[in-house]
Structure 1
Amino acid sequence: MGQSIRTRFEVLGTLACLGPVHVGGWDTTAEASLTIARDGLGRPCLPGTSIAGALRAYLSGVDRFQAGHPVKVTDALFGLTPSSRDGSPSWIRVDDAHLIGDDVTPAVRDGVGIDRRSASAAANYLYTRQVLPAGTRFALRLVADTPTTAAPGYPGGWPALVRDAVEALVAGLTQARVPIGAGRGRGLGRVALRDATIRSADLSDPAGLVAWLTGAAPARPHPPAEDTSPQEAPHDGRLRVAVAWRPVGPLLVRDSLPGTVVDTLPLTDTTADGTVRLLLPGSSIRGTVRAHAERIVRTLQRQDAPADFGDALRQPPPGVDVLFGSAPTGRRDDQDQDRRGRRGALAVADCHSLGQVSASQWNDVVTTSPGLVQPSGKQEREEREERNLQRDQARSVLRGRLDGIHDHLPLAVSDHVAIDRWTGGASDHRLFSVLDPDATTAWEPIHLDVDVAHLDRQDAPEHRASAVLALPLLLLVLRDLRDGWLSLGYGGTRGRGQIEVTDVTFDGAGLSGAWQSLAGRSLDTVLSDPPPEVVEAMTVWANTFQEAAA
């Protein structure tokens, strides 16, 4: 039996990747264990299921569609899987988003878990992931229907409910508030809808049906994000934190691939149009913030981190579990509601240098190499001297190329050597070099996003208690970041990665409880003159750990 349709809405537009995006595919490759999804032609695509799931999760956080209505809006619009005979169809359909333009070459991101005790790479937690570069574009088509039946409890019935939901979804996509795919907490999945148009027609009326089929139904463009005032921002229950900062000394995340003249290269990000920028991945920043948050809570609890790294991921301390999530327990007991793990409410976007160079310029830098010395029958000492001469010549060429991009990316080669613990002199075969960004390198602000609506939806009593601790914990971590207690990137124990935070600001709409009092304020004003809601939250925090210590 078919569905009786009254009004149909259609949204057309272009989904542009603002950062790396990963929607997992089925196969594996030699370069990556986690590959991207592809269509029947072998081209990258964004499956409609992934887009629809992200839209459903986003809509559940928009304040006017949250729980409290007689009709649960997300179930009514996106359907409900039947537990017996009470299932319902989806009135919103999303097509697979296919690639626009030429095929793109995915980049490969490396990931590693950091052991909580040794602060080094955890065993068996190294993985590689393919990501689509920023600038990749896909064609989006979304169709939403309104049934002819009544929609009790929502003003205006089904037409108004579907219309308002479509407007909210398009506004969220236009303003890049709907991340898509995996790794969203690590900065992946940021997309924005551009050149969006919405057309509608009454299919229950013959004239409307003819207009729809002939393409004569009126279509209107949706205003772009830059034309939207702050008052018109979606009330989606997300707190946005912007951290303005600058490096105090050398700061980089190490690329997994070594250089030919320089041993350690800084990690970079290449967009679809061939622009290269230095990169601080959201995963690296989030890992640093999470480790510090765990250190705070475990210190107050007077408990060490678990010896097993897997246990640390499966059993994070309170407050950390709801902000950063928890790994699956691996149990098969159907009564264990947390065995699949939980998504964290905090996401951190990738941070790039403001300066950039072309892909060809960067390729000239990383491919600079000395000539090869072939065995010539000379004495070993003479061959070694010849190799050193060619290495010095390659260094000279590299310095010239670095001078050519210095105005955009100030980089310099620094040499290091390990010290022998017995002789006190240089250790044999322990000389290495690093291509360091200069301290004058300008960077984007660090952007953090807290899904407050997700925190409000915690159901288990222990997670509701943890959600109360999330705000004080976040403020303490941001305070320590501002005060210089955290280092970012590679070599933090060797004086690298020190930063100076110049400002931390909060913004958001549709927030609840104490989170609402942060919007429009800076961290300095919140700490120096805390709102009553923040004072109450900090009091609960103090009482919680005083009781635990007792």
Structure 2
Amino acid sequence: MKFRAITAKLTLRTALHVGTGSDTETTDDLLRRDVRGRLLIPGTAIAGALRSIATRLAPRFGGSPCQAINNQSSSAACQCLVCQLFGDVNPREDSDTATAARLLVYDAVLDTIPSLTIRDGVGIDRVTGAAARRERIKFDYEVLPAGTVFKLRLEIDPKLPDEPKLLPLLAATLAEWEQGRGAIGGRVNRGLGAFTLNEVQWIERDLNQAKVLIEFLHHGPPWHTTDGDRTWLTNQVQQVRAWVEPYQGNDPVARSWVLAEFTLAATGPFLTNDVAQAGRSGFDHAPVFAAYEQGAKPVLPGSSLRGALRSQAERIARTLATFSAWDNGKNMGSRKTAFLTTCPACNPLTTKTDDPVASCNSFIKALLKVERQSQKNFCGAVLSSNSFIKALLKVERDTFEQKGAEEKLCLACRLFGSPWNGSRLRVEDAPFVGDKVTLKVLDFLAIDRFTGGGRDTAKFDAVVLWQPKFRVRLFLENPEPWELGWLALVLRDLHDGLITIGFGAAKGFGQCRIEDGAVTLGIIHESDFPLSETNDQEPAVQQAITAKQQLLQSKGGMSGVYRTLMLDPATENDWRTLVESWIRAFNVTVKEYKHAFGLKKDSYFDEINGTWLPDLYPARVS
């Protein structure tokens, strides 16, 4: 028998939150701790993140898709490569073919407690553009700071099947983490949980040798050894690359990714408010820092940037839909009807279906509530709308999701996520660039609208960052061409100063520009290149296809099992052609989109006291 294990160091690139759901007077969501009070990442969280990547990678190496991908409910064991490694996805006690996990994943425990911080979250009001004031969308949570290092420990069960692709699949999965594409914990799409894996080593001991066995029994597993094979991961990944093959089908397997990195440079005062830091400093408003200790640097929370990007993305999509409805309608009534049936971006903060630009979540909850009422005898009682989602019977939720939740979501919810569909777009916390942090103290005084003078008891102050720079990292997995075009338009607006980040937009805060941009596209196979080739007889499409072919012929690199193509001066024109094709794909997608439910109300196409708002503010002026 052999003892086989993998050890590595997991270094946080951004803050981490692995919550418990428990709250205190200090925060709404505490970090997870063991019975001794030590902070940890549970082995279940690590195994779940690994399994998610492996499930998408395995079909690209000739393995059969897992039942978790194709939503096939079967009484038989799955027996795919992933289930052989991590255990059957649908274990049954009465099945003699089910497989237990052959990869043992240990908790990653911290022996020392680093400086913890409290993060605040708040929604953006889509009408005013300011922070929404409702208590239901204000929350906070405890996080571990970036730079914290965990020890990763994986053990291979001796009963692992003798399948030649199992360990290479595990290596390809770990390579994704080694290349910095890993994320773990909660709120990963909003900036948290990004990390890099390093110092990966393969440890193997032959316990059939008496001396080795005695040493193993005396000292225990050699977790702290440094003589492991550090070339194992590279060698295994090179073997996997030879197995890559095209994948036909629409299953959510690994195909491609896009990484955009740039420096976000503020042109003036900049502030993302931290309530806890403000309380510590004695000011009414203070910026977010990576830690509550002297010398800590500011950080731009990914949630702040993501919220601003989504708000602008929604505005772009609704503007295009408004123009289309305006041009195609003969009167205000027909224009309103056209917009309500084609609006591609909802307001995710609304809770009622009759709210202007109502959220997809409100329509889905209403739909499921009707279905639940029709099964009242089975359910026993109809729950209130507030507790409905939490108490929804699993069979009902699974049935709905198998029908396809994404088809009922607007384009914004498909790209940026919703309660029913996670997002493939990750906006990481952006670290401060540079050594010197410049702070300024500003005083504010509200104006009395009656006297024109200063209003009593309305004075407040703030500590703001002056012209800071942050290094931003956006990662989109399996991008569709229209998604890339949409993001290109949003980033263009960010660079042009049409998007403000953080607190005080009305006061001139948060104006930024983009510097030192870099774009990397990763594809497993040439057939995975994100390009819509419909109407390939059109000159513009032919140009995009030519640009794609020239990029594929250019010198690229390798990152894990992915081939990488980077934006550089030699390929800039080809990239420009591709971006234009992606934007055209976005325009076509918006034009062809039909709302799954049909909105009931809009804040622009609205009639008040017999007067249509578009009559006062027309969408187009001749």
TM-score normalised by structure 2 residue count: 0.64
Tell me how far 1:74 sits from its aligned partner: 2.3
Go from structure 1 to structure 2 and tell me whether the alpha carbon gap of 1:350 and 1:91 turns closer, same or farther (over 3 Å shift).
Answer: same
User: What is the aligned partner in structure 2 of residue 346 from structure 1?
Assistant: 425
User: What is the aligned partner in structure 1 of residue 269 from structure 2?
Assistant: 250
The superposition leaves residues 407-441 of structure 1 with CA deviations (integer Å, 9 ceiling, x where unpaired) of x22112222222222232222222222222222x3
User: What is the aligned partner in structure 2 of residue 94 from structure 1?
Assistant: 105
Tell me how far 1:213 sits from its aligned partner: 3.9
Tell me how far 1:188 sits from its aligned partner: 0.8
Tell me how far 1:41 sits from its aligned partner: 0.5
Q: What is the alpha-carbon root mean square deviation over aligned residues?
A: 3.9
State, as a whole percentage, how many aligned pairs show the same letter. Answer: 27
SS of the counterpart of 2:114?
coil
User: What is the aligned partner in structure 2 of residue 73 from structure 1?
Assistant: 81
User: What is the aligned partner in structure 2 of residue 113 from structure 1?
Assistant: 123
Tell me how far 1:118 sits from its aligned partner: 3.2
Measured in 2, the distance between the counterparts of 1:523 and 1:489 equals: 33
Superposed counterparts of 1:228-377, under 5 Å:
237-257=256-276, 258=278, 262-270=283-291, 275-302=295-322, 303=343, 305-306=346-347, 309-310=350-351, 314-315=360-361, 330=389, 332=393, 333-334=396-397, 335-337=399-401, 338=405, 341-355=420-434
Tell me how far 1:132 sits from its aligned partner: 1.2
| Counterpart selection for 2:144 from 111, 122, 132 | 132
Code of the residue aligned with 1:74 in structure 2: it is V
SS of the counterpart of 1:297?
helix
Residue 458 of structure 2 corresponds to residue 430 of structure 1: yes
User: What is the aligned partner in structure 2 of residue 483 from structure 1?
Assistant: 496
User: What is the aligned partner in structure 2 of residue 373 from structure 1?
Assistant: none
Contact 1:488 1:497 (C-alpha < 8 Å) held by counterparts = yes
Tell me how far 1:82 sits from its aligned partner: 3.0
User: What is the aligned partner in structure 1 of residue 171 from structure 2?
Assistant: 167
The superposition leaves residues 165-197 of structure 1 with CA deviations (integer Å, 9 ceiling, x where unpaired) of 332243333333211111101111122334332
Go from structure 1 to structure 2 and tell me whether the alpha carbon gap of 1:489 and 1:95 turns closer, same or farther (over 3 Å shift).
Answer: same
The superposition leaves residues 51-85 of structure 1 with CA deviations (integer Å, 9 ceiling, x where unpaired) of 011111223344x6537524743233212233653
Superposed counterparts of 1:380-529, under 5 Å:
408-439=436-467, 441=468, 443-452=469-478, 467=480, 469-510=482-523, 512-514=528-530, 519-521=565-567, 529=574
Tell me how far 1:140 sits from its aligned partner: 1.8
Tell me how far 1:122 sits from its aligned partner: 4.8
Go from structure 1 to structure 2 and tell me whether the alpha carbon gap of 1:306 and 1:290 turns closer, same or farther (over 3 Å shift).
Answer: closer
The superposition leaves residues 103-139 of structure 1 with CA deviations (integer Å, 9 ceiling, x where unpaired) of 3342111111222223331521111111112233322
Code of the residue aligned with 1:290 in structure 2: it is R
Contact 2:349 2:359 (C-alpha < 8 Å) held by counterparts = no
Tell me how far 1:267 sits from its aligned partner: 1.8
Contact 1:115 1:309 (C-alpha < 8 Å) held by counterparts = no
Code of the residue aligned with 2:101 in structure 1: it is S
Measured in 2, the distance between the counterparts of 1:179 and 1:125 equals: 24
Superposed counterparts of 1:13-92, under 5 Å:
13-25=8-20, 27-62=22-57, 66=60, 68-70=62-64, 72-82=80-90, 84=92, 85=95, 86-92=97-103
| Counterpart selection for 1:220 from 226, 229, 233 | 229
Superposed counterparts of 1:181-200, under 5 Å:
181-200=185-204
Measured in 1, the distance between the counterparts of 2:28 and 2:214 equals: 49
Tell me how far 1:348 sits from its aligned partner: 1.0
Measured in 2, the distance between the counterparts of 1:307 and 1:422 equals: 37
Measured in 2, the distance between the counterparts of 1:299 and 1:68 equals: 44
Tell me how far 1:508 sits from its aligned partner: 3.9
Code of the residue aligned with 2:515 in structure 1: it is T
The unaligned stretches of length 5 or more in structure 1 are 1-5, 151-157, 318-327, 357-407, 456-466
Contact 1:241 1:448 (C-alpha < 8 Å) held by counterparts = yes
Measured in 1, the distance between the counterparts of 2:569 and 2:17 equals: 33
User: What is the aligned partner in structure 1 of residue 556 from structure 2?
Assistant: none
Go from structure 1 to structure 2 and tell me whether the alpha carbon gap of 1:468 and 1:236 turns closer, same or farther (over 3 Å shift).
Answer: closer
TM-score normalised by structure 1 residue count: 0.71
Tell me how far 1:35 sits from its aligned partner: 0.9
Go from structure 1 to structure 2 and tell me whether the alpha carbon gap of 1:313 and 1:36 turns closer, same or farther (over 3 Å shift).
Answer: farther
Contact 1:34 1:130 (C-alpha < 8 Å) held by counterparts = yes
Go from structure 1 to structure 2 and tell me whether the alpha carbon gap of 1:479 and 1:42 turns closer, same or farther (over 3 Å shift).
Answer: same
Tell me how far 1:148 sits from its aligned partner: 6.8
The superposition leaves residues 293-334 of structure 1 with CA deviations (integer Å, 9 ceiling, x where unpaired) of 1112222233484596246554499xxxxxxxxxx9936534
Go from structure 1 to structure 2 and tell me whether the alpha carbon gap of 1:548 and 1:78 turns closer, same or farther (over 3 Å shift).
Answer: closer
SS of the counterpart of 2:275?
coil
Contact 2:432 2:471 (C-alpha < 8 Å) held by counterparts = no
Measured in 2, the distance between the counterparts of 1:278 and 1:416 equals: 23
Code of the residue aligned with 1:309 in structure 2: it is T
Code of the residue aligned with 2:588 in structure 1: it is N
